[in-house]
Structures are given as C-alpha cells and as structure tokens.
C-alpha cells in the first residue's frame, strides 16, 4: 500500500514547525495578499520572511507549498508581478494556483516549479484533470464534492497526475468555496475569494416577513437554533484505506487559521492513523477518531465522499464555533533541571490530572508544583501566564510538548458526530 503525503496548514511560522514535528510530510502556507486566508496572529508569513519559512520547513525534512490561489483582478496581477522576485528567491516546492492568469505568471518566472491546481478550480472529472495536465500542472487538488469512487476513476484515467484531497477540517457551504456571501454581507469589505471571509455561513438567521417589521421568527422551529448554512467539519480518518486504494497522493488538512494545538493534535492523529493503516489495512481507526474529538470541531461528517450526496445531518444547526473535547492547557517552552517553563492557555489546578502530548508521546501526569516568575508557589495556573512547573512524569521531547485536559468532555455529544459513518 502506497503511503500518501500528509499535508498540514502553516498559518504562521510557529504552526509550521509544530505541524512538521507532529508528523506532516509537507505544509502549505501563503502570504496575505495572494492566498485565501488572512492571518492575524503569531509570526505571520510575509514576503519578507517567506524564504525563512520555506527554508525552515525544508531543514526540518518537509516540503513547503506556497498558495497563490486568489481570483486575481488586474491590480492583483500587477502586485504579484512586483512580488515575484521574492517568491522566486523563496524557492517553494510547489505553487498552489486557481487563476489561469496567475498560472501564466508563475510559469514565466518559475518554469521549473511544480504547479498544484487549487480546489477553488472546482475539479470534478478526469477531462478537467487532463486539461490542467496539458497546461503544465503536476497535481490537482480535487473538489470536496467528489465521492471516493469518482476519485478512483480519475486516478485510473490520468494515473500520472498527482491527486490531492481534503480529509479533515471546516467546510464551506458554497461549491468548492466559490462564495460571494461574505462580500455581500460586508458591503465588499470582507471578500471571501481574496482571503478575508467573514464566515456568514456560521451566523444565526431569522425570518422577517415584509409586512410585519421587527417580528422575527426562527427559521428552524426547534431547540437546535438557526445556523442553517453552517456545515459540520470533514473527518475521513475512518476511511483512509478507501482513499489510499483510490490512489490519492496527498491528504490535506484544512486549518491555517486554527490554533497551534489544533494543528499539532490533528497532525499527530493522522500521522499515526496513516502509518497504522498502511501497515495493517484492517486496523481499527476508532482510536484516532476519538483523538480528533479532542480538537475543535462543529461535529464531524464524511461530506460527499461516501457517494450518497451530502448527508442530511451534515449541518451544525446548534453551534457556529467549534467545540473541543479537551481544553488546551499550556505549551512547554523550556527546561531548567526538572522545572519546565510553560505558557498557559486555560486554567488548571496543581495536582490535577493532565494529558501531555509530544510528537512521540501521549501520557497522563500531574503538575506537582506551580511557581510564578518570582518563585512564589501557586495552587492555580491562570490563563495567559508564564509559569514554572514540575511533573510526576516528564516529557522526553519537551520542546514541542503540549498539555490538555484528560478524556472527552460531555458536551461533545453523539448528535454532533453521528454523520461520520463507519
């Protein structure tokens, strides 16, 4: 069984490092002006540090793909032309492109760099794959709307073309993400196809009859709320064998705007799941699904991949933001003897059980000592503090160690996950 690439999001340089350490074979990253995600936190990737980011990935043994997948107006083409010197210098392993005009520029300035056609291009059939192959592309990132059986047929018809598919993460209510709803709702200030979506599909809506002003009615008359456009998140960890058998070369996880914990824990779960199923195709994938319940999600669905159309329970009617089955407690930053410097993300108590994850470990331990920067002992570690702690069991790979609560919280209910079929 061929082992597919695990491709993780790199929303900033810190997430890039953690994604690779936790198992990514490759990362995808973008600069604000030319990709479909506008980052706002962390060490952002810009034209000035793009080469540093890509060099960092390569030094860590992973590939780095640069997203240039906006739909470009004339002004964008001019801006990109002015930026090409720095992009050429950064030397990415591939460019992710959806716009033919940008593709022409890329082929002019970087004729030897592989081109991956973005999922925004709505690739649904083998003739479209052949078209992009004729245009010089080496990989097609297929539309999420395809069932696995169609993916297998495309691979059979065009075996020399690399195929990439999303296996996990948030989904857009629009076909392959081609949405104008954000543009309309924000009077053109937040354009989804220019990387700045306001996510109106996650908003709660009510019905207003024009002859009855200010008399708002619930669209869905039950206790689930009115998030009528908000899809559940994609999760295909239980279907890796079918996807590998279909000939998919790269498994892509969505989430450049997600947290460092999300990137790390998701990479770890899929890295271990892929390695397991490649060694034993009949292995039980349920443990990895349980791990993925511990990261933020709106409930999980298999989307269109099982070939039955989009499942009717594939919408998250009751929530707009993702709920995680475990709380992210802290990052470990350094070590001094048997004391570890941490940065807290959520409150926890001394001596309570916590779960440590590293690229190679996962275990339950306790924090037996908490001290502030001045050396004063504490019983509670509060949010957003730099503290020193001691553990009953210490992590071996402490530089990338993260901590979370133990188990899965009770509010991650069965109703949220029922469309992720076995």
In the chain, domain spans:
5-176+231-301, 328-404
pLDDT tens per residue, range 338-393: 999 999 999 999 999 999 999 999 999 999 999 999 999 999 999 999 999 999 99
pLDDT tens per residue, range 127-152: 999 999 999 999 999 999 899 999 99
**pLDDT tops 80 at residue 162:** yes
pLDDT the model gives residue 224: 46
pLDDT the model gives residue 336: 95
Q: How far apart are the C-alpha atoms of 404 and 401, rounded to whole Å?
A: 10
pLDDT tens per residue, range 252-274: 999 888 999 999 999 999 999 99
Q: Give pTM, 2 decimals.
A: 0.86
Print the SS3 string covering the chain.
Answer: CCCCEEEEECCEHHHHHHHHHCCCCEEEECCCCCCCCCCCCCCECCCCCHHHHHHHHHHCCCEEEEEECCCCCHHHHHHHHHHHHHHHHHCCCEEEECCHHHHHHHHHHCCCCCEEECHHHCCCCHHHHHHHHHCCCCEEECCCCCCHHHHHHHHHHCCCCEEEEEEEECCCCCHHHCCCHHHHHCCCCCCHHHCCCCCHHHCCCEEECCCCCCCEEECCCCCCCCCCCCECEEECHHHHHHHHHCCCCEEEECCCCCCHHHHHHHHHHHHHHHHHHHHCCCCCCHHHHHHHCCCCECCEECCCCCCCCCCCCCECCCCCCCECCCCEEEEEEEEECCEEEEEECCCEECCCEEEEECCCCEEEEEEEEEECCCCCEECEECCCCEEEEEECCCCCCHHHCEEECCCCCCCCCHHHHCECCC
**Given pLDDT bands bounded at 50, 70 and 90, which one contains residue 195?**
low
Instruction: Please report, rounded to a whole number, the percentage of residues in the chain having pLDDT higher than 90.
Output: 68
- Apex 107 CA angle, 167 and 178, nearest 5: 40
Least reliable range by pLDDT among 130-134, 246-250, 251-255, 309-313 = 309-313
**pLDDT tops 50 at residue 415:** no
Least reliable range by pLDDT among 80-84, 169-173, 298-302, 395-399 = 169-173
pLDDT the model gives residue 143: 93
**pLDDT tops 60 at residue 106:** yes
Least reliable range by pLDDT among 39-43, 161-165, 405-409 = 39-43
**pLDDT tops 90 at residue 160:** yes
pLDDT the model gives residue 184: 53
Fold of 5-176+231-301: TIM Barrel (3.20.20)
pLDDT the model gives residue 214: 74
**Residues linked to residue 386 through DSSP beta bridges, in sequence order:** 343
Least reliable range by pLDDT among 214-218, 280-284, 372-376, 408-412 = 214-218
DSSP state of 383: T
pLDDT the model gives residue 352: 95
Of 214 and 90, the one with more pLDDT: 90
**pLDDT tops 60 at residue 29:** yes
Average pLDDT, the chain: 87
**Given pLDDT bands bounded at 50, 70 and 90, which one contains residue 231?**
confident
Mean of pLDDT values over 219-231: 55
> What is the maximum alpha-carbon separation in the chain?
72
Determine contact, residues 53/47, Cβ cutoff 8 Å. no
pLDDT tens per residue, range 53-74: 999 999 999 999 999 988 899 9
**pLDDT tops 50 at residue 86:** yes
pLDDT the model gives residue 383: 95
**pLDDT tops 70 at residue 40:** no
Least reliable range by pLDDT among 205-219, 261-275, 324-338 = 205-219
Helix residue ranges per DSSP H, 209-259: 240-245
CATH class of segment(s) 328-404: mainly beta
Say if 5-176+231-301 and 328-404 have the same CATH topology: no
């Amino acid at each position: 069984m061929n082992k597919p690439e695990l491709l993780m999001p790199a929303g900033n340089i810190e997430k890039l490092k953690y994604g690779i350490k936790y198992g990514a074979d490759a990362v995808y990253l973008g600069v604000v002006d030319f990709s479909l995600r506008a980052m706002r936190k962390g060490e952002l990737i810009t034209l000035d540090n793009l080469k540093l980011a890509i060099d960092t990935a390569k030094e860590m043994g992973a590939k780095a793909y640069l997203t240039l997948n906006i739909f470009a107006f004339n002004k964008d083409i001019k801006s990109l032309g002015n930026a090409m010197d720095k992009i050429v210098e950064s030397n990415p392993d591939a460019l992710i492109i959806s716009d033919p005009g940008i593709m022409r520029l890329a082929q002019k300035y970087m004729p030897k760099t592989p081109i991956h056609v973005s999922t925004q291009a709505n690739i649904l059939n083998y003739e479209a794959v052949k078209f992009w192959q004729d245009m010089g592309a080496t990989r097609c990132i297929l539309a999420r709307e395809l069932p696995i059986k169609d993916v297998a047929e495309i691979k059979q018809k065009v075996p020399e073309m690399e195929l990439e598919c999303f296996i996990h993460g948030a989904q857009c209510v629009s076909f392959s993400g081609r949405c104008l709803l954000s543009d309309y709702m924000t009077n053109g200030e937040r354009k989804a196809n220019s990387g700045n979506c306001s996510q109106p599909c996650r908003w709660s809506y009510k019905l207003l009859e024009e002859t009855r002003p200010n008399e708002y009615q619930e669209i869905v008359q039950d206790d689930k709320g009115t998030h009528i456009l908000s899809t559940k998140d994609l999760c295909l960890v239980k279907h890796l064998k079918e996807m590998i058998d279909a000939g998919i070369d790269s498994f892509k996880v969505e989430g450049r705007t997600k947290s460092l914990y999300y990137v790390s824990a998701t990479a770890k779960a899929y890295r271990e799941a892929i390695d397991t199923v490649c060694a034993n195709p009949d292995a039980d994938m349920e443990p990895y699904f349980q791990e993925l319940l511990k990261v933020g999600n709106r409930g999980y669905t298999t989307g269109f991949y099982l070939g039955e159309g989009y499942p009717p329970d594939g919408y998250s009617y009751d929530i707009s933001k993702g709920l995680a089955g475990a709380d992210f407690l802290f990052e470990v930053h350094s070590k001094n003897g048997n004391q570890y410097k941490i940065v807290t993300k959520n409150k926890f108590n001394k001596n309570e059980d916590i779960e440590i994850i590293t690229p190679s470990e996962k275990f339950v331990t306790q924090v037996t000592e908490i001290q502030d920067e001045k050396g004063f002992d504490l019983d509670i570690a509060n949010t957003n503090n730099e503290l020193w702690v001691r553990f009953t069991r210490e992590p071996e790979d402490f530089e990338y160690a993260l901590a979370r609560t133990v188990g899965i919280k009770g509010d991650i209910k069965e109703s949220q996950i029922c469309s992720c079929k076995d």
